[in-house]
């Protein structure tokens, strides 16, 4: 009876707040700020900007008293540096993180300690190898020629609407799969086939996000009953597992049939298997599965997200587009393809300061991973003065950090590549920003190993699109961030493309 009265009072309290349009970030009896969090969920990223601007960069979200769901949200670079570097050992991924991201198994994103160090060392050695770098460049160029160009050329010629976010996802899924497994799934073709693996990734990422904001007992009940996001995650995991195991089986078969003296494949899966042992000192398919899935998500999602937001920003900022094209035009003349396309090599693009600055500025405003969370092993006081306990989630809003005036200046919400350039020469040089302030590639010992690989791919596609095409967002199209662990456009990126010139007939 008493519980019913309390629930009625809470319900009336919330209704009164909503009707008064006073539903703001304040504690409420019994349920803390939990209802406010859900009320603002559809625009959670911008809501974080608003609350962190109000509370000087850090705010404690009190969860329901029975749920152990207190979340310390911060965009303070000092807090980030303290957690990710100075107190790194006290903020492991831990059991809570592994429960939320259990679909990733024991891969590099979930692991701690010696397991993490050995995986990171192994991945670094493979990615840094010259043969892999060449393989990366050749794969990008081939996929552009055989996949991207035909799709975009047809859309431009026909004047049809194209979801450029979907195209970028298909491109990076195909190339990432080739880098990691050596096999091309063929997602970017003229018929744009259904991609169950890619859809499963999207469903898994949405479910993982909901696990961050729901009490554990709620999403475990969903999992037990087979409903909601947990049921979508179960189906997604089955799809991911089957696909990855298929690649492992094909690779083992390919290796077994390899002729003695034949040049070995360059992909990461071949390298892992050819070493003859995994991190656990045995040829373990589970280790291979976890490694592949972690790397697939890192390569496919982050790069396609970055390309999507960059292309939109440049298309809506004509002056930025003009400067990028001017920089590209300054390169020595190169032979174009028969259809009028001009490719740009990694060597050519490596010297372009304004293109690099434009990408960094896009990543600042629209980081592919918009938030991260950590929990301390032992209670600790952060530089902001807030205490984090082992039951507290310390959540970095990377999206909000890029929009904090006290971090980036009064123009923090503007797209200004010039903020990244030091004018010390004819073209200037790129201004260094510490990773705890610019977290697009993580920070501290867990800084992304694939940063240079990502920039190589981003620059090649960004330059090709900006130089060869005009991109116009379809009138009335809603460009809104989604609610997931990867920052995509909620409704896709619907555009019309027009080629900047026509070849002579």
Binding residues for heme: 448
Query: Which residues make Cβ contacts (< 8 Å) with residue 98, sequence separation at least 6?
Result: 110
Separation of alpha carbons 295 and 172, rounded Å: 12
Rounded CA-CA distance 481/464 in Å is 25
Give the chain's end-to-end CA distance (angstroms, integer).
Answer: 83
Residues 6+ apart with CB under 8 A from 191: none
Reading the block at residue 255, the tokens are 């290796």
CA dist., res. 466 & res. 322, Å (int):
9
Gap between the Cα atoms of 486 and 84, Å rounded: 20
Q: Where is the binding site, in residues?
A: 448
Q: Give the pair of three-digit tokens for residue 453.
A: 């690989």
CA distances from 81 to 89, 94, 382, 384 (A): 13, 19, 10, 12
DSSP state of 431: P
Residue 110 to residue 273: CA distance in whole angstroms: 21
3-state secondary structure of 368: coil
Q: 224, 236, 392, 205: which is closest to 300 by C-alpha?
A: 205
b (16+ CB within 10 A) / e for 127-161: beeeebbebbbebbeebbeebbbebbbebbeeeee
């Amino acid at each position: 009876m008493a519980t019913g009265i309390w629930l009625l009072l809470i319900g009336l309290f919330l209704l009164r707040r909503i009707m008064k349009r006073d539903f703001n970030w304040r504690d409420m009896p019994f349920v803390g700020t939990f209802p406010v969090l859900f009320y603002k969920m559809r625009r959670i990223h911008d809501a974080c900007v608003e609350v962190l601007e109000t509370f000087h960069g850090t705010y404690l979200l009190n969860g329901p008293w029975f749920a152990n769901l207190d979340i310390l949200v911060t965009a303070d670079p000092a807090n980030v540096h303290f957690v990710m570097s100075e107190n790194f050992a006290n903020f492991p991924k831990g059991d809570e993180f592994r429960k939320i991201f259990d679909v990733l198994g024991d891969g590099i994103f979930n692991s701690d300690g010696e397991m993490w160090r050995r995986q990171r060392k192994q991945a670094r050695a493979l990615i840094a190898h010259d043969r892999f770098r060449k393989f990366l460049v050749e794969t990008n160029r081939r996929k552009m020629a055989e996949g991207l160009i035909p799709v975009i050329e047809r859309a431009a010629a026909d004047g049809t609407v194209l979801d450029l976010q979907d195209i970028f996802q298909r491109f990076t899924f195909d190339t990432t799969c080739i880098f990691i497994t050596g096999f091309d799934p063929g997602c970017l073709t003229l018929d744009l086939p259904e991609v169950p693996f890619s859809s499963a990734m999207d469903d898994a990422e949405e479910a993982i996000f909901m696990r961050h904001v729901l009490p554990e007992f709620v999403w475990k009940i969903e999992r037990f009953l087979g409903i909601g996001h947990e049921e979508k995650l179960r189906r997604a995991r089955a799809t991911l597992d089957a696909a990855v195991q298929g690649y492992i089986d094909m690779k083992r078969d390919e290796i077994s049939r390899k002729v003695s003296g034949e040049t070995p494949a360059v992909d990461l899966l071949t390298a892992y298997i050819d070493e003859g042992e995994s991190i656990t000192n045995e040829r373990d398919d589970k280790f291979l599965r976890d490694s592949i899935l972690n790397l697939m998500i890192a390569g496919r999602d982050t790069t396609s997200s970055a390309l999507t937001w960059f292309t939109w920003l440049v298309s809506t900022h004509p002056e930025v587009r003009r400067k990028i094209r001017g920089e590209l035009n300054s390169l020595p003349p190169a032979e174009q393809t028969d259809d009028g396309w001009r490719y740009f090599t990694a060597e050519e693009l490596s010297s372009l300061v304004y293109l690099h600055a434009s990408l960094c500025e896009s990543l600042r405003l629209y980081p592919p991973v918009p938030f991260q969370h950590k929990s301390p092993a032992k209670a600790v006081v952060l530089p902001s003065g807030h205490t984090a306990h082992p039951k507290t989630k310390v959540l970095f809003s990377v999206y909000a950090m890029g929009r904090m005036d006290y971090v980036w200046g009064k123009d923090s919400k503007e797209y200004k590549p010039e903020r990244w350039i030091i004018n010390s020469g004819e073209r200037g040089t790129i201004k260094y920003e510490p990773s705890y302030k610019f977290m697009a590639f993580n920070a501290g010992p867990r800084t992304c190993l694939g940063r240079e690989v990502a920039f190589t791919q981003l620059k090649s596609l960004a330059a090709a699109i900006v130089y060869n095409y005009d991109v116009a967002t379809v009138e009335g199209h809603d460009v809104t961030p989604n609610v997931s662990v990867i920052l995509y456009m909620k409704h896709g990126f619907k555009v019309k493309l027009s080629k900047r010139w026509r070849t002579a007939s």
